[in-house]
Structure 1
């Protein structure tokens, strides 16, 4: 017997209310991004005309983008951010994989003790000053290594990857061992090709973390040529003299633009790479989260 479910009038009213609430929530989330974009392309005259608040610009100009890319600071900062994101993410995935794979084996000697030590670091850390002393003692200050090595492994991400490896059928590894593959060969030829979803997920986590890093740059770097884009953006927000922060000798052109417009343009430049990459990883991201975070 087939039962046909018909929505009542009250059910339709509830559906409409849910859609309205979700729409308002989406609007409140997207509006700040939209406002930043609008302010970055709005002419100075229109900003003044509307009292500094523009929602729908009548004219569009890309002078702010032209000015920030005419300075040496923004391209150099973007280059640094790209380097630490690519190199840092690759090293993060390599070390996390080499740590998570053996810990996914229940027969590994001392496995529980090592896991306990790793989880302990999620609850208690050495502190900011001891960390700085270690980084300084290793000679990493004023190097890009200071932005990569201290956060080489995230215990949270390692546990997600370990759970993913545990969910893979053990028969696959047994067959590889019968064919003569060692542990490293099995990991490289069998496990990693099956682990692309979790690799994409954790790669996105690590990559976004590296791209958005600014605290490490403030702590460990004094050479401004090594500043990543987020540190430059932070300094621009804190200083009233945008042209000085961007190292523009002839500041006459940029002074014709409101400082907020230049800052908004820099914000757009800083978030655009992540927004462009995420759609290509979204499929793997969702699948990796579902598989890697659930045991069984």
Structure 2
């Protein structure tokens, strides 16, 4: 008589019951393939950045010998950075972008927190109509001409406020933050209300301390958005002294339009400043702040955005 036994854990291999195949520990071949893939992605990201940084630090002779972008170090020079940071248009644009980013991020994050907290309370005034209006913006945008006419009607043309107010609140960030606030146990806030705490007190002492991760991520989204934005400045600013760095980058680097203070005839220490090196230096300055800030906030992405966006 032959006895047919049930598959045992040993016969099934190392896979645990109830787990999918892609959740298991990969074998040696799988680990090697992952390492090669990660290395290829890292190389595709870091190599262009390396070329840009190296070209921005190269003297004119090295750029001429390389025929353009420099791949192998051949002498280093800070002439391009000295030129664009010597008080010209690029220096002023860096200050403009920094100020707009700091003020805009603080303003937008504050508005989003207040709106998200109000919409997360189901008993708040006009809860459903306001939430419907927010969701409606996902489907229908205001359009370019109505936006310009609105900014003009409020007298915001050629002002720094036009770089912040038209995009002060992003519907996506508002929905993510609202979902996170709704996941906070209602009993905690009810007990605070029984003790006489106001809504602002509850928001400041209970809700925000529990929402540091998602708030940091939302602030990063706003900060990167303001730092990289150029279209509002392109539409609403006529005075190039008020241009942010990204508009300078678009005008000078991408379109090749000469900008006073960053041209090929400028000199540093008696020698010509290489035009290509200046362009690459502007690119480095435009990318550097995001690269410096992102690693400190990246750890909050999984905890902040995923928990805030996925409910259940």
TM-score, scaled to structure 2: 0.87
Q: What's 2:20 paired with?
A: none
Cα deviation, residue 290, structure 1: 2.4
Matched, 1:245 2:260: yes
In terms of mean alpha carbon deviation, does 209-218 or 116-125 score higher? 116-125
Is 1:206 the counterpart of 2:226? The answer is: no
Distance in structure 2 (CA, Å) of the matches to 1:12 and 1:113: 56
Shift of 1:257: 3.2
For the pair 1:95 / 2:111, whether they are aligned, the reply is yes
Alignment correspondent of 1:160: 176
TM-score of the superposed pair, with normalisation by structure 1 = 0.91
Give the conservation status (yes or no) of the 8 Å contact 1:239–1:245: no
For the residues of structure 1 that align with 2:87 and 2:263, how far apart are their CA atoms? 6
Q: Residues 197-252 of structure 1: CA distance to partner in whole angstroms, max 9, x if unpaired?
A: 1110000000000001100111000111111111111111255464x433679724
Unaligned runs of 5+ in 2: 1-7, 16-25
| Aligned with 1:284 (options 289, 296, 300) | 300
Distance 1:255 1:199 in 2: 49
**Which has the higher mean CA deviation after the structures are superposed, 189-198 or 50-59?**
50-59
Distance 1:22 1:238 in 2: 30
Deviation string for 1:159-180 (max 9, x for gaps)?
0000000111112101111110
The alignment status of 1:72 with 2:99, answered yes or no, reads no
Query: Given the alignment, which residue of 30, 34, 38 partners 1:22?
Result: 38
Please give the alpha-carbon distance, in whole angstroms, between the structure 1 residues aligned to 2:69 and 2:142.
45
Whether the 8 Å CA contact 1:71–1:248 is kept in 2: the answer is no
- Which residue is 1:236 aligned to? 252
Output aligned runs, 1:119-268, within 5 Å.
119-238=135-254, 240=256, 242=258, 244-246=259-261, 251-253=266-268, 256-268=272-284
Contact 1:141-1:221 at 8 Å conserved across structures: yes
Q: Deviations over 1:258-282 (max 9, x none)?
A: 3121010011111111211222222
Seen in structure 2, the aligned counterparts of structure 1 residues 33 and 87 have a Cα distance that, compared at 3 Å, is same
Deviations along 1:180-200, one digit per CA (max 9) or x if unpaired, are 001121112211122111110
Superposition deviation, residue 58 in structure 1: 2.9
**2:214–2:305 contact (8 Å) kept in structure 1:** yes
Cα distance between partner residues in 2 of 1:143 and 1:267? 25
Provide the alpha-carbon RMSD of the alignment.
2.3
| Structure holding more helix per residue | 1
For structure 1, the residue ranges without an aligned partner over 5 or more in a row are: none
Q: Which moved more, 1:246-255 or 1:103-112?
A: 246-255
Given the alignment of the two structures, is residue 49 of structure 1 paired with residue 65 of structure 2, yes or no? yes
Q: Distance in 1 between matches of 2:126 and 2:63?
A: 64
User: Displacement, 1:109?
Assistant: 4.5
Where does residue 114 of structure 1 map in the other structure? Answer: 130
